[in-house]
Amino acid sequence: MKALIPSGRTDIPVTFDEVDPPQPQPHEALVEVQAISVNRGETFQLEAPQPGWRPGKDVAGVVVRAAADGSGPSAGTRVVGHPLSAGWAQHVAVPTDALAELPDTVSAVTAAALPLAGLTALRLLRAAGPVIGTRILLTGASGGVGHYLTELLTASGAEVTAVTASPERGARLAELGAAQVVHEAAAATGPYDIVLESTGGTELPVALARLARRGRLIWFGQASRTPVTLNFFDFFAGPESATLRHFHYMDDDTPYGTDLAVLVRLVAEGRLHPEIGRVADWAEAARTLTDLRDRRIRGKAVLTVA
């Protein structure tokens, strides 16, 4: 079968190759892939790929062989899935607890945009706890996770200030409910009860300074790829007794399929709107990956699989 594999090059990060079809484990369903979503973190992994690794964690398609153990959806069921890898291919084996069924009203393209970014946003919301009436600062807001977070947080009663690199990248966030859109953390007024920080570098200390006393900063990304330096005494300048927590979406013990089903339901009900900045054939994968890496795509990028 045809699959996208790492090339080890920065200008053309993936190429097509013929690979052996997957051999599902008893708890895995075989899915014919119709659409995939690419993530900025994957573009970084492609710069120095591990031997034997094949990318692909966001897929949507049709089950062509149900799991041998009888779990999960039957053959012919439309699904969205979150395999650990190897999803950028014509077929992929996916654990049944990482699959959710799709209603007819949710397309494969829309569904493919959900897994990694949607799961991260949903689980960050869970980690943040009750947010109704809180003021929240969200950095790196114009990516896929940021759009989902903005809509989910505002629907939950929070007042969100979104930080984006430019007015163009932040336009949709106001439509999704952001109370304020600024273009650097220093422009945010504060104080904030919660800071959701995904940039790192010099922005994290700036965002921390806008945190209220006993507030919480949840650090879930390092998009700047620049190390962070924090001064202990900075906490006494405002965010006294604040807490700082590292977050990774895999720390949540909820099965992926359970949370994917929540995301699918919210989309089907018109309560969650994936922001898809580009839809292209997977023949355009290399160009799409470099554009996503270099921030020329707002929100998610989805590729359809021929």
Average pLDDT, the chain: 95
Among 40, 293, 7, residue whose Cα is nearest residue 145: 40
| DSSP-derived secondary structure letter, 241 | T
> What single letter denotes the amino acid at residue 216?
R
Residue 62 token pair: 């049709």
Residue 282, classed as helix, strand or coil, is helix
Residue 290: exposure state from Cβ atoms within 10 A (0-12, 13-18, ≥19) = middle
| CATH architecture, range 117-250 | 3-Layer(aba) Sandwich (3.40)
Q: In the chain, what are the domain boundaries?
A: 2-114+274-304, 117-250
Residue 97 token pair: 């607890």
pLDDT > 90: percent of the chain: 89
Q: Which of 141-145, 153-157, 159-163 has the lowest mean pLDDT?
A: 141-145
For residues 127 and 247, the answer to whether their CB atoms sit within 8 Å is yes
- Read off the pLDDT of residues 35-93 as tens digits, 9 standing for 90 and up: 999 999 999 999 999 999 999 999 999 999 999 999 999 999 999 999 999 999 999 99
- Read off the pLDDT of residues 96-133 as tens digits, 9 standing for 90 and up: 999 999 999 999 999 999 999 999 999 999 999 999 99
Q: Is the pTM of this model over 0.85?
A: yes
- Read off the pLDDT of residues 185-235 as tens digits, 9 standing for 90 and up: 999 998 999 999 999 999 999 999 999 999 999 999 888 888 999 999 989
In sequence order, what are the beta bridge partners of 44? Answer: none
Q: Which helix (H) or strand (E) holds 79?
A: strand 78-81
The pLDDT-based confidence of 165 (bands split at 50, 70, 90) is confident
So what CATH class is 2-114+274-304? alpha beta
Helices (H), the chain: 40-45, 108-112, 115-128, 144-155, 167-175, 203-208, 256-268, 285-293
Tally Cβ neighbours within 10 Å of residue 6.
21
